[in-house]
C-alpha cells in the first residue's frame, strides 16, 4: 500500500487535477506527472492548483536522521544488533530512491514492512497550492503540522527555479522571520516558529516527488541493487537531476534556526541518500555574525551574505540586524569564513533599490568593501510586493552599477527575476493565508 491516504490524495490531484484519490498505481506515473506539470498551464498565464493537504495520523519517517530512524525501528521491536543495518536500508529507500511506501522495500522482510506500515508513514509536508510561473518557476505552499499552542496549521513556501544548466530549489528555514528588512515581504510576517529538521528535508523530498526527480524504483539487473553504505549511485541510470542546487533563501533567517538547518543539510548532503554536494548548497544570511564561523565549521556549505548597503547608516534602515552587527564586524566574519578560497567564494547579495543604494559611488564603495575576499557579487533587482514603498532601480542604472563591479574583477551577474508573476521571486514569499492588516503593512513598509 501507499504511504497513507494523504499521499494518494496529492497524487490524485497531480494526475487528474482533482483532489480525489487516484489509486495506489498513481504514485509511479512519472510520465503522467511530467505531462501534467508541463501541459496544465495555458502558455500565456501562470497556473495555480489548490490541493487538499492532509495531515498523516501516523508519524512520518521521511525527514528523520539516522538516529531517528534507529529509534523508530527500536520502538517496533527491531533487535539492537540489526538497528544500524535496517536504518541504512530505510535511509537508502527514503533518500536515494524516494520511496513513499514500505511495500517497495524489497530487501526488507515482509514482516518488518508490515510492522513499519502499521506504525509509521512516509508522508511529506502537505501541499496546499502549487503554482507554475510563465518562466517555469514553481512555487509550493505547504501546510505543516501544528505544534504546541499554534492556532492554525502553519504554512511555508518552497520555490523551484529551472535553468538550462541547473535546477535550484529555494527552501525555507522558518515560518515568517523575526527580522524586518524593509524591502522583504517575509519580514512583514511575524515569526510563527522554526522549522523542524524533517520539515526542512521534507521540502526537498516533496519537490523531488512533484518533479519526478527520483531514479527508477527498480534498478536494472540484480547486481545493481543498492547496498547501504557502499556509495551505490542510483542516478547512474538517470544522471540528469532536476534539482542540482539547494539555496536557503526562502522564508526566514536560517542561522536563527541553526541546529535544525545544520542537521537537515547533513541529511541533504549524505552521499548514500540525497547526495547534494555541499558546494551546491548555499546558506544566505542577513548577517548573524556570531553564527557565521560556526556554520562554516559545522556545516561547511557555501555562504551568501545579504549586504545591500555599504554604509552603516543606510544598512541600519534596510537590514535592521546591522544595528547589532555592523558592516565592519560582518566583513571580518566573512574574511574568517572557514574554507574560503577562490573555488569557494562568498556571494554578496545586493538588492537594487532606486535612489537608495544604487549610486555609482555606492558601487565603488562596494568593491572596496569586499576587496581581498574571494567573492561574487549578486545584484538583485528589487521584487515588489503589495504595500511596499521601495522601487526597483532603473535598468540602465543597474547596468552602470554592474559595469563598475565587473571592471573591478568581480563576476556580478544580475539575478534575473524569476517567478514574479506568482510572487515566488526573492523576498516575495509569505504564508498566503495570512492577510496583512493595514497597520502591519504600514509598519512594515515605513
Residues binding ligand SAH (CB under 6 A): 181, 183-184, 249, 253, 284-286, 306, 349, 351, 380, 382-383, 426-427
CA distances to 259, 262, 292, 374 from 298, in Å: 10, 7, 10, 21
CB of residue 135 to ligand SAH, shortest distance in Å: 16
CA dist., res. 267 & res. 62, Å (int) = 11
Among ligand SAH, ligand SF4, none, the one that 426 touches (CB under a kind-dependent 5 to 8 A) is ligand SAH
Q: Give the residue closest to ligand SAH by C-beta.
A: 427
Asked if residue 177 binds ligand SF4 (CB under 6 A), the reply is yes
Would you give the binding string for ligand SF4 spanning residues 315-354, x where CB under 6 A is met? ----------------------------------------
CA dist., res. 445 & res. 436, Å (int) = 12
Binding to ligand SF4 (CB under 6 A): which residues in 112-151?
none
CA dist., res. 152 & res. 145, Å (int) = 9
Among ligand SAH, ligand SF4, none, the one that 245 touches (CB under a kind-dependent 5 to 8 A) is none
Among ligand SF4, ligand SAH, none, the one that 46 touches (CB under a kind-dependent 5 to 8 A) is none
CB of residue 208 to ligand SF4, shortest distance in Å: 24
Q: Which residues of 318-344 are buried (b: 16+ CB within 10 A; e: fewer)?
A: bbebbeebebeebbebbeebeebeeeb
Sequence-ordered alpha helix ranges (H) in 212-254: none
Among ligand SAH, ligand SF4, none, the one that 349 touches (CB under a kind-dependent 5 to 8 A) is ligand SAH
Contact 443, 367 (CB under 8 A): no
Count of beta carbons in the 10 Å neighbourhood of residue 50: 12
CB of residue 286 to ligand SF4, shortest distance in Å: 4
Asked if residue 380 binds ligand SF4 (CB under 6 A), the reply is no
Instruction: Specify the residue, 101 or 431, whose C-beta has the smaller distance to ligand SAH.
Output: 431
Stretch that binds ligand SF4, among 53-61, 174-182, 265-273, 364-372 (CB under 6 A): 174-182
Instruction: Specify the residue, 167 or 228, whose C-beta has the smaller distance to ligand SAH.
Output: 167
Maximum pairwise Cα distance, the chain: 70
User: CA angle 420-421-426, nearest 5°?
Assistant: 20
Helices and strands of the chain, counted as H and E runs = 13, 12
Phi, psi at 125, each rounded to 5°: -55, 145
Catalytic residue ranges = 157, 426
Contact 285, 292 (CB under 8 A): yes
Instruction: Specify the residue, 100 or 308, whose C-beta has the smaller distance to ligand SAH.
Output: 308
Contact 129, 141 (CB under 8 A): yes
CB of residue 155 to ligand SF4, shortest distance in Å: 15
Task: For residue 49, give the 3-state DSSP assignment.
Answer: strand
Among ligand SF4, ligand SAH, none, the one that 249 touches (CB under a kind-dependent 5 to 8 A) is ligand SAH
CB of residue 309 to ligand SF4, shortest distance in Å: 13
Asked if residue 286 binds ligand SF4 (CB under 6 A), the reply is yes
Residues binding ligand SF4 (CB under 6 A): 177, 179-181, 184, 186-187, 252-253, 286, 306, 427
Amino acid at each position: 500500500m501507499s504511504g497513507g491516504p494523504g499521499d494518494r490524495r496529492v497524487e490524485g490531484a497531480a494526475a487528474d487535477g482533482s483532489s480525489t484519490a487516484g489509486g495506489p498505481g498513481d504514485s509511479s506515473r512519472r510520465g503522467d506527472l511530467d505531462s501534467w506539470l508541463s501541459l496544465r498551464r495555458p502558455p500565456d498565464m501562470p497556473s495555480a492548483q489548490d490541493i487538499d493537504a492532509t495531515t498523516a495520523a501516523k508519524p512520518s519517517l521521511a525527514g528523520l536522521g539516522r538516529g531517528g530512524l534507529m529509534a523508530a525501528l527500536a520502538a517496533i521491536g527491531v533487535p539492537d544488533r540489526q538497528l544500524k543495518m535496517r536504518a541504512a536500508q530505510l535511509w537508502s529507500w527514503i533518500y536515494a530512491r524516494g520511496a513513499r511506501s514500505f511495500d517497495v522495500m524489497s530487501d526488507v522482510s515482509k514482516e518488518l514492512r508490515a510492522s513499519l506500515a502499521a506504525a509509521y508513514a512516509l508522508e511529506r509536508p502537505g501541499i496546499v497550492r502549487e503554482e507554475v510561473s510563465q518562466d517555469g518557476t514553481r512555487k509550493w505552499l505547504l501546510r505543516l503540522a501544528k505544534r504546541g499552542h499554534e492556532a492554525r496549521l502553519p504554512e511555508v513556501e518552497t520555490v523551484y527555479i529551472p535553468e538550462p544548466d541547473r535546477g535550484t530549489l529555494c527552501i525555507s528555514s522558518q515560518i515568517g522571520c523575526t527580522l524586518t528588512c524593509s524591502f522583504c515581504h517575509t519580514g512583514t510576517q511575524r515569526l510563527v516558529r522554526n522549522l523542524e529538521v524533517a520539515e526542512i528535508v521534507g521540502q526537498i523530498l516533496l519537490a523531488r516527488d512533484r518533479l519526478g526527480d527520483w531514479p527508477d524504483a527498480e534498478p536494472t539487473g540484480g547486481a545493481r541493487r543498492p547496498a547501504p553504505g557502499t556509495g551505490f549511485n542510483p542516478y547512474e541510470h538517470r544522471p540528469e537531476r532536476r534539482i542540482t542546487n539547494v539555496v536557503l533563501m526562502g522564508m526566514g533567517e536560517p542561522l536563527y534556526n541553526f541546529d535544525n538547518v545544520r542537521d537537515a543539510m547533513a541529511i541533504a548532503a549524505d552521499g548514500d541518500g540525497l547526495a547534494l554536494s555541499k558546494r551546491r548548497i548555499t546558506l544566505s544570511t542577513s548577517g548573524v555574525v556570531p553564527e557565521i564561523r560556526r556554520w562554516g565549521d559545522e556545516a561547511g556549505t557555501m555562504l551568501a551574505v545579504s549586504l545591500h548597503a555599504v554604509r552603516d547608516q543606510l544598512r541600519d534602515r534596510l537590514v535592521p540586524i546591522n544595528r547589532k552587527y555592523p558592516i565592519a564586524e560582518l566583513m571580518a566574519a566573512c574574511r574568517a569564513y572557514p574554507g574560503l578560497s577562490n573555488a569557494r567564494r562568498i556571494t554578496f547579495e545586493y538588492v537594487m533599490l532606486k535612489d537608495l543604494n544604487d549610486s555609482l559611488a555606492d558601487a565603488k564603495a562596494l568593491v572596496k568593501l569586499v576587496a581581498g575576499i574571494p567573492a561574487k557579487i549578486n545584484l538583485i533587482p528589487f521584487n515588489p510586493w503589495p504595500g511596499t514603498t521601495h522601487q526597483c532601480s532603473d535598468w540602465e542604472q543597474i547596468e552602470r552599477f554592474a559595469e563598475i563591479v565587473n571592471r573591478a574583477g568581480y563576476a556580478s551577474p544580475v539575478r534575473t527575476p524569476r517567478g514574479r508573476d506568482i510572487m515566488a521571486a526573492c523576498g516575495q514569499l509569505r504564508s498566503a493565508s495570512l492577510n496583512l492588516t493595514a497597520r502591519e503593512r504600514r509598519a512594515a513598509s515605513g
